[in-house]
Amino acid sequence: MRGRIVSLSCGIYSINVDGVIYNAPARGLFRNRGIKPLVGDEVEIDSNNLIINTVYNRTSELKRPPIANIDQMLIIESLKEPEFSYLLAFKYLTYANMNNIKAKIILTKVDKQDDLKLISEIKETFKAIDIEVYVVSNKTKEGLKEVRELFSNHISCLIGQSGVGKSSLINAIDKDFERKVGEYSKALGRGKHQTKEVILLPYEGGYIADTPGFSSLELNLYKEELAEFYPGFSEFFTKCYYSNCLHITENKCAVKERIEQGLYPKIAYDCYLKLSEESIYKLRRFER
């Protein structure tokens, strides 16, 4: 039987086979081969022994959260509690690019944000680099109709900090999901974890992946890799005069020319500089 892993608990995988859920462990030989089945994997189950004996090739794979075969990453950021962070948004977008996964941004808690200028600024910033932004309120239901349409026939992964409203959004999309909702702690300045595991929820011909939130994301990229995968850089990366251009101090840099012309958002570039400071060189460079 061929199916898709939708959750994992205590070494037992739940596999959806034509709408029926089977619980099965994986064969021991996977461990010997360094293979670990992931939520999202398409697998073959031995119908007699109820054990996973084949993991089919993946179209994509994320290490954090550990999930396979998603074709869309939906970055969830709240406008309040916690405050919206450009730096974190660009980190997530870079993470999507380095894994070759399309990404969109969903801003939650619009009912708590009165600064319409900020919302407009965020939208314009990401529009400049062709990133779609959706604004929703899980409380008032504003924007939910448009967001629901994003999930049809896709395997979508929701990713974001604890407390931004991932589980609340899923519940608002379909009340039957009944995901546990965490609270935002003003004392800690972040949300409290509720989702403990990765789980795929079937929806409109696809799946929605609810994932554990986290307060930080380490890209672990060299400066050269960051310059290649950073949002909005890819189409200009090969147009720079130097093939290994980092878009910082180099002359004849296509990216910096776009910034000077007002065609690339300064806030996006400022975030890039900060991330680049946190990275190391892959190749040793000659100092002048």
At 34, list the tokens.
Answer: 């360094």
Q: Per-residue pLDDT for 281 more than 80?
A: yes
pLDDT digits (tens, 9 = 90+) for 23-79: 999 988 787 888 899 999 999 999 888 999 999 999 999 998 899 999 999 999 999
Please give the pLDDT value at position 196: 67
Q: How many whole angstroms separate alpha carbon 127 and alpha carbon 117?
A: 15
Task: Look at 47-56, 138-147, 179-188, 195-204 and tell me which has the smallest mean pLDDT.
Answer: 179-188
Q: Is the dihedral of CA 275, 109, 63, 203 positive or negative?
A: negative
Mean pLDDT of the chain: 88
From the number of C-beta atoms within 10 Å of its C-beta (0-12, 13-18, 19+), residue 9 rates as exposed
Give the three-state DSSP class for 191.
strand
pLDDT digits (tens, 9 = 90+) for 216-226: 788 989 999 99
- β-strand pairing of 133-135 with 103-108: parallel
Average pLDDT over residues 4-25: 95
pTM of the model: 0.88
* Confidence band for 215, pLDDT divided at 50, 70 and 90: low
pLDDT digits (tens, 9 = 90+) for 71-103: 999 999 999 989 999 999 999 999 999 999 999
Q: Per-residue pLDDT for 288 more than 60?
A: no
Q: How many whole angstroms separate alpha carbon 224 and alpha carbon 244?
A: 7
The CB-based long-range contact list for 168-175 (8 Å cut-off, 24+ gap) reads 168/108, 168/138, 169/76, 169/106, 169/108, 169/136, 169/138, 170/201, 170/208, 170/210, 171/138, 172/136, 172/138, 172/141, 172/144, 173/144, 173/147, 173/148, 173/203, 173/208, 174/201, 174/203
Q: Per-residue pLDDT for 148 more than 80?
A: yes
Q: Per-residue pLDDT for 271 more than 80?
A: yes
Q: Per-residue pLDDT for 186 more than 50?
A: no
Domains of the chain: 2-57 (2.40.50.140), 62-210 (3.40.50.300), 223-277 (1.10.40.50)
Q: Per-residue pLDDT for 183 more than 50?
A: no
